[in-house]
Amino acid sequence: MREIIFDTETTGLDPREDRIIEFGGIELVNKFPTGRSFHYYINPQGRAIHPEAQAVHGISATDLVGKPSFDQIVTELEHFIEGATLVAHNANFDIGFLNSEFSRLGRGPIDPGLVIDTLAIARRKHPMGPNSLDALCRRYGIDNSHRTKHGALLDSELLAEVYIELIGGKQAALSLEVQATTVVVTGVTEVTTVIRPRERPLAPRLGSQDVQAHRALVETLGAEAIWLETDPAYRRELAEAPD
């Protein structure tokens, strides 16, 4: 299963008038990061940045001089998200802006069936809140100390870790060793990741007394106990035992 965890920063709050000025996303396959990401700062083509929005993300009009416009990156973006489920925090906001940008270029909207809203998941799982990205990082022990301003790529990386925790996965799944990195000038970053085997296997946590106690319990369940299917030798031993 391929998923894109993404975030946007915008000139304001109204997708009918305001524009996306930053897009950042990272790719997960079967809940593991592939190391592939997509990130652009985007020129809003004359649309002013609201002071309240700039206070949140810290991006100024000067920062966007010389950056590509949305129409210049849209094909690349579509290729990056094609066939994937899109995961965002307060997804209605980000999807609304993406759909507005697509509509301006004559492209169709994103299928809502391919969108997962982590804010909705968090509200169901933690109804007493708070459920902001910062609050969820604190709840799950995810280091967000470097998040002094909102940023699309950084927020996507943090959200990926939060998302894994929200759905009951393991945060460690996102801590793979980076083996090699190739940065592509178009904005897509390719990273090869590997999982190193343990240098020393973990010691068994069950002692002989635990094993014998478990066997005694299984014997009370009868010859068809499902536990016996995992231990063929024990099944034969039980079957051959005299009555």
Give the residue numbers marked as catalytic: 150
Contact between residue 173 and residue 3 where contact means Cβ atoms under 8 Å apart? no
C-alpha 179/C-alpha 195 separation (Å) is 10
Residue 157 structure tokens: 């990386």
Virtual torsion, Cα 187, 43, 157, 139, nearest 10 deg: 180
Contact between residue 28 and residue 34 where contact means Cβ atoms under 8 Å apart? yes
- Per-residue CA distances from 190 to 38, 75, 145 (Å): 9, 18, 26
C-alpha 224/C-alpha 235 separation (Å) is 9
C-alpha 12/C-alpha 59 separation (Å) is 12
